[in-house]
Amino acid sequence: MVEITVDESLCKRDGLCAMACVRGIFEQKERGGVPEVARRETCMDCGHCVAICPAGAITHSSFPEGSVGFIDTASLPTYEQVLELIRSRRSKRAFRDAPVEREVIEQMLEAARFAPSGHNAQGTMFAVVQDRDRLHEIGALTGESLRKLVRPFRSPVGRTFMRLLLDARQIETVAGYAPELLHLANLYDEGTDVFLQNAPALVLFHAQDNGGMAVIDANLALQNAALAAEALGLGCFYTGFVVMACMRDQRIAEFLSLPAGHKILGALAVGYPRLSFKKWPERKPARVTWL
């Protein structure tokens, strides 16, 4: 169990910790009183209490000295700057024949690890593949998996069997994709890297798939990484077909010796882009229902 204490000599008695804690661990029983620590067993180590306390009065065993930093408000971007970064980010699939330095990828993952996660689980892990032979094998396994996925939909008997496993919408979706998936698998076999576009690096986001928030958590981390990549001058794209293969087939995870029970839940092909976009095209207006 975590250890949490409030230093009465430092506490400003403002009750900020009690207001910020989503688990009700702190109780300020009377206005101007020192908050008491209760229900510490429900703490999920989110760090709200140590981050909100202006006086540093809270000691938390999960956040020893030096593990809590001050926000550099002068460095925070404006809304317009954030929006411009988001609008300028594009899926880039043409890469220079140059490796991405390890420290640059580490900067991407530094942004990724600060993404929110359900119950503050922070369960997303990262695998970075840069070896050309491994990248080629991932592409080959992706093609094989996609062929396996669409095989039942190529015959009436197979489609009848799949009705026992999938709902009508899923069957319609996969059946609609089938010709394209087979075409892509054939292109890969013929020497065209349609899955990774000859990217020098592939970043995989994986976690224990326990039926909880793992998929959402991984893709929140991925979006952070994609925006960081843009800021670092990298190009990247979401390797949807690789992820599609991994969601139904564990061979890529096993090939990379990922921890038992882990699934690849997101992936970014990364490299230095050959093309530089100077304009951003408009998107559909936001479809909003105000209630």
**Residues 218-246: tens digit of each pLDDT:** 999 999 999 999 999 999 999 999 999 99
97-154 tens-digit pLDDT: 999 999 999 999 999 999 999 999 999 999 999 999 999 999 999 999 999 888 776 6
Residue 69 in any domain: the answer is: no
Q: Domain with 243 in it: what CATH number?
A: 3.40.109.10
Residue 73 lies in a domain: no
Q: What is the pLDDT of residue 153?
A: 66
Task: Give the residue numbers spanning the domain of 196.
Answer: 91-291
Residues 110 and 46 both lie in one domain = no
Instruction: Decide if 34 is inside a domain.
Output: yes
| SS3 assignment for 8-38 | CCCCCCCCHHHHHCCCCCEECCCCCCCCEEC
Instruction: State residue 141's pLDDT score.
Output: 97
- For the residues 39-66, what does the mean pLDDT come to? 95
Cα–Cα dist 6/16, whole Å: 12
174 and 38 housed in the same domain: no
Boundary residue ending a domain (17, 44, 60):
60
Give mean pLDDT, residues 243-261.
94
Q: Please tell me whether residues 252 and 212 are part of one structural domain.
A: yes
Helix (H) or strand (E) holding 174: helix 168-189
The answer on 206 and 284 residing in a single domain is: yes
Residue 57 pLDDT more than 80?
yes
- Decide if 23 contacts 39 (C-beta within 8 A): yes
| Whether residues 142 and 252 fall in one domain | yes
Return the DSSP state at 282: -
Q: What is the pLDDT of residues 279-288, one digit of tens each?
A: 999 999 999 9
- Count how many domains the chain has: 2
Taking each helix axis from N to C end, the angle separating 132-150 and 240-248, rounded to the nearest 10 degrees, works out to 60
The alpha carbons of the chain give a radius of gyration, in whole angstroms, of 24
Asked if residue 162 has pLDDT above 60, the reply is: no
Higher pLDDT, 171 or 50: 50
29 within domain boundaries = yes
pLDDT band at 163 (very low <50, low <70, confident <90, very high): low
Let me know whether 97 and 173 are in one domain. yes
Q: Same domain for 43 and 179?
A: no
Report the CATH number at residue 30: 3.30.70.20
* 51 and 159 belong to one structural domain: no
CB count within 10 Å of CB 286 equals 5
pLDDT of residue 76: 97
Residue-wise burial string across 207-223, b where 16 or more C-beta atoms lie within 10 A, e elsewhere: bbbeeebbbebbbbbbb
- Domain co-membership, 95 together with 54: no
Does 78 reside within a domain? no
Whether residue 161 sits in one domain with residue 26: no
| Domain match, 162 and 253 both | yes
* Average confidence score pLDDT of the chain: 92
Q: Is residue 124 part of a domain?
A: yes
Q: How many CB atoms lie within 10 A of CB 18?
A: 17
Regarding whether 215 and 149 lie in a shared domain, the answer is: yes
pLDDT at 211 over 80: no
Range ranked top by mean pLDDT from 139-148, 162-171, 209-218 = 139-148
Q: CA 58, CA 9: separation in Å to the nearest integer?
A: 11
Q: Is 82 a member of any domain?
A: no
Position 67 in a domain: no
> Would the pLDDT of 71 be above 60?
yes
